[in-house]
Structures are given as C-alpha cells and as structure tokens.
A and B are shown apart, each in its own frame.
Chain A
Amino acid sequence: MVVGELTEEVDVLVIGAGPGGYVAAIRAAQLGKSVTVVDKADLGGVCLNRGCIPSKALISAAHHYEAAKTSPYPGVETTATLDFSKVQAWKQTVVEKMTGGVKTLLKGNKINVIQGEVFFSKPDEARVMTETEGHSYRFNHCIIATGSRPIELRSIPFSKRVISSDEALSFDQVPESLIVIGGGYIGIELGQTFAKFGAKVTILEGTDSILPLFEPQLSRLVLRNLKKYDVDVVTKAMAKSVEEDETGVTLTYALGEETHTVRASYVLVTVGRRPNTEELGLDTIGIKLTDKGLIEVDEKCRTSVQNIYAIGDIVPGAALAHKASYEGKVAAEVIAGHESVVDYRCIPAVVFSDPEIATVGLSEADAKAENKEVSVGRFPYAANGRAVALNADEGFVKLIADKKSGLLLGAQVIGAEASNLIAELALAIELGATLEDVALTIHAHPTLGEMVMESAEVALGSPIHVVVR
C-alpha cells in the first residue's frame, strides 16, 4: 500500500453495472443512499453490450432480411440485399443508445461511477484498481453483481476461429460457414440468425434434442424452421477436438461409436456461462459459495458476510437479466431498511428463435412430476385471425392449470410475439388467476392475445374457435 494513501468512505458499493448492478444502484439511490458503482468494462454489462440487446438487434435484422428475400405476402414482390457492415454499425448504435441511457440514469440519480477492478481486502473494504491507480474504499454495504462469462471447452479452447457469443455478435462479415457447439437458447438464436444472413450452419448438441430445457413440442417447430434454412442439426454429438488453419477449422465430434469431422469458417462455442466469482478475493473475506461455485445467498440476497449482498448470474437460479434486476431491487431495498425479500411465483423465459418460444411457471410435465392433477388448454395460431393475417400461423398457446381449483400454474407459447404474449400469463400466475379469470377477460379482436383467452376456454371445455373433440 502506498504510504499516506487515504481510504475513501462510501455507503453502498455496487460491483458491476449490468442489469443487476445498475438497477440495484438506482433503487438504492432512489431510497436515499449514496452509491458508488464500479465496473471494469462498459455500463450495461453483458446484456446491453454482448448479450440481450445486440443479439436481438441482429435477430431482427436477419428476420427482416429473410422475410424480404422470400416475401411472405403473395402479390408483394421484394428483393433483398445485405450490407452486413451497415447492419453491424446499426447494431452498435442500438447498443450505444442503451448504454448511454444507463449512463444518463446513473448520473441523474447522482451515482458515482468508476471504471476499474475490485478486490476485497476486508469484509468492509475493497481495493479498486483503475487503469492508472489503486484506491481503497471502506463501505457500509456492498452488492456484488459481477455476472458471468462464456464457458470455454478444455478440448476446444477459444482462439481466432473458435469463438464465444461475444465475438459472434461482432463479426465484421457474415461467415461463409459456422459450427455451433451447444443447442441451447444462445446457440439456437445465433445459429438461426447467421443462417438467415446466409451462412451454412451446423449445430451440434450433446443431448437428444435442441433446446433441451424446453418441452419437445416447443423445440420441434424451431427444428423444422432451422431445416428450412438448411441448418444441419446433429444431436447426441460430442465435440472432441479442433484443428485450425488459415482458412477455417475442422472439428471432430463423436456420434455414438462413430467419429465425424465437419469443416467451417468458425466454431462458435455456446455450451453455457460461468459465474465471475474468482478474481474478487471472496475467499479472503470468507464469502461462502455453493458446490456449483455460485455465491450462497438468503432470501434477502445477503451473502454469508452480513453487509455484502450478491445478485444475478453469480447466485443460484435462472441466468436471466430480469431475474438479476429483480434481485438488484431487493438487495437495495433491504440495505435501505425495507422488508423486501425474493418473492415471486414465476419468472418468464424467452427464446428469440424463429418461431419465438416463451414459457412461465410449470410445464405440463413439471406439474405431473409434482403429482398435480391438471387441466390443459392448447390453442393454435392457425385458428387466430390476426396470426393468419400476419402470415404467422405456426405455433400455439398452452395453459396448464390445477384441475380442481382452475388456478393457472404455467403457460407456454410458441409462435410470433410469444415473447410479448407471455407477460399477461406471468401476471395471471402472480395474481393467482384461474382459467375462468383469463377466459372472462375481454381480449381485443383481432389480436394474438385472444389466443390466451381462447386457450383458457379450451381448458374449460368451451372454446369458440376450435371444435372440442
């Protein structure tokens, strides 16, 4: 330590400015706390810079390009050309708008922002290393929100042509061909997107289905669409090794007893994400981790060190931006003396595949595994006027309810705008709505939202727009 160096006093120190961290900082400031946020990179974290936002921008552009290439509307003739560098430049402006917004919000809430890396030296003291200097900060409360990063495969390490989602989102041109290892939501979203932009895509998935966390009824439609874009999907495939040369990569994978090779310009590894918990000095201050390397927290987001909280991808639960933000508010409110706890009945999950998938609450299989007797209502997009007029008649809405009480337990939507339709269903579950509550709510016509009402009617046995068999 530099002789004579001062230790600065801060009230609330937030480490990380992703969806968990910046929301925590703002809520703490709203509640009258003086807040300092430290992030080693860009405001907005993975979600805004290398995740949700840039991926959705590319997905939208690819969708539009694809739709223009093969106009879905008879009588509307279109031609499509692609200047990918302009697409990327636009995506970057989207990112900059959103991260600029975070900067404005932090400033507007009088939050002190520091770019640097944090290392705990004591349970109430952290050292922050900026590019030029190091400072010690004594804090009353701390919220750790350091997020996660892509998992690297030991046998197929990252290199110039073996890349993570970070690099795939920043391609300066559409690769001729792309091998995606991992058929989870990130792999499917990016694989499908680059296939639409014209890349020859091969997806290797270790389990027996893509999107293994979702029910087969849901992944089947996505699989069918991937084949339309000439994507090769190989399931039960285990990637073994990679050879890289000037022009591309040759990947070796096992399929049962057989060994295969496939060649492409790049290999994109999307097998999962790991928590950023290693370089903080958590062990020096005795913060307990779970056996999976996540930070152990209670329902108030408190770690084993009383004045330190943890939120987002570094704690157990779904690695989703909206879960991180929710926890950020809880942690900030607890610090401000409020009786807040993590208390939700459900968290929606969305895959921006084509068609989109959105789920919330229990699936039919989950409910049955809990020995619940359920009523199920399923309504097809093909029977919805708005969907047909949108030329988007693929998909369905499915509701799962408790048979006796009619209480909504879960919902699944696959099809156009599934990501938006799921919000009503999440609210219904949180409010303890029954199938009748949903069915008796007048939904505007013609809208996709009517399918929510009608699937409730299906479950109740009295739908108008499908025939009960």
Chain B
Amino acid sequence: SSREILAAPSVRKFARESGVFLGNVIPTGPNGKILREDVERFLAGADHAQ
C-alpha cells in the first residue's frame, strides 16, 4: 500500500540509527503512527529471524 509513513522525528532518528526502514514497521500508534516500541518490536523480530 502507499500509506504515508508517520513517525515523530525522534522515532525516525532511532529507526535510522538502528538500520530499520520505517516502511517495514507495523504502526500501532494513533492515526497509524509508528512508535519507538514498534521499531523495537521489529528489531527484536528481525534478531529472532536471524
């Protein structure tokens, strides 16, 4: 889908520093926002997959 990727500046920075592309993260915040914990969950899942 072509939904807009929504995340606060600090979450965008955290994702960038963690090497996570926000388009791959499932948002759980209000209005479809990606939260820091969504990025953390993605990271944990990615680690698990390895």
Contact = CB atoms under 8 A, between A and B. Distances in A.
Interface string A71-109: 000000000000000000000000000000000000000
Given A430-B8, A432-B7, A340 B16 contact: yes
Contacts of B9: 343-344, 430-431
Contacts of A339: 16-17, 19
Contacts of B17: 338-339
A405 interface: yes
Q: What band does the interface of chain A fall in when counting residues whose beta carbon is under 8 Å from B?
A: 10 to 19
A343 B8 contact: no
B12 interface: yes
Given A405-B31, A406-B31, A432 B16 contact: no
Contacts of A432: 6-8, 31, 33
B8 A431 contact: yes
A387 B19 CA distance: 48
Nearest to B34: A432
A407 interface: yes
Interface string B1-44: 00010111100110011010000000000111100000000000
A339 B21 CA distance: 13
A340 B14 CA distance: 10
B19 A343 contact: no
A253 B19 CA distance: 58
Nearest to A343: B12
A432 B33 CA distance: 7
Q: What band does the interface of chain B fall in when counting residues whose beta carbon is under 8 Å from A?
A: 10 to 19
Contacts of A344: 9
Contacts of A405: 31-32
Nearest to B19: A339
Contacts of B7: 432
Contacts of B13: 340, 343
A406 B30 CA distance: 12
A170 interface: no
A430 B32 CA distance: 14
Contacts of A431: 8-9
A434 interface: yes
A434 B8 contact: no
A405 B31 CA distance: 7
Contacts of B16: 339-341, 343
Interface in A425-442: 430-432, 434
A405 B8 CA distance: 17
Interface in A329-363: 338-341, 343-344
A341 B12 CA distance: 10
Contacts of B12: 343
Interface in A409-433: 430-432
Contacts of B8: 430-432
A432 B12 CA distance: 12
A437 to B, nearest CB: 8
A434 B33 CA distance: 11
13 contacts: A339-B19, A340-B13, A343-B12, A343-B13, A343-B16, A344-B9, A407-B4, A407-B6, A430-B9, A431-B8, A431-B9, A432-B33, A434-B30
Interface of A: 338-341, 343-344, 405-407, 430-432, 434
The 7 closest A-B pairs by CB, nearest first: A432-B6, A339-B16, A339-B17, A431-B8, A432-B33, A430-B9, A434-B31
Given A341-B16, A431-B9, 5 more contacts: A338-B17, A343-B16, A405-B31, A407-B4, A407-B6
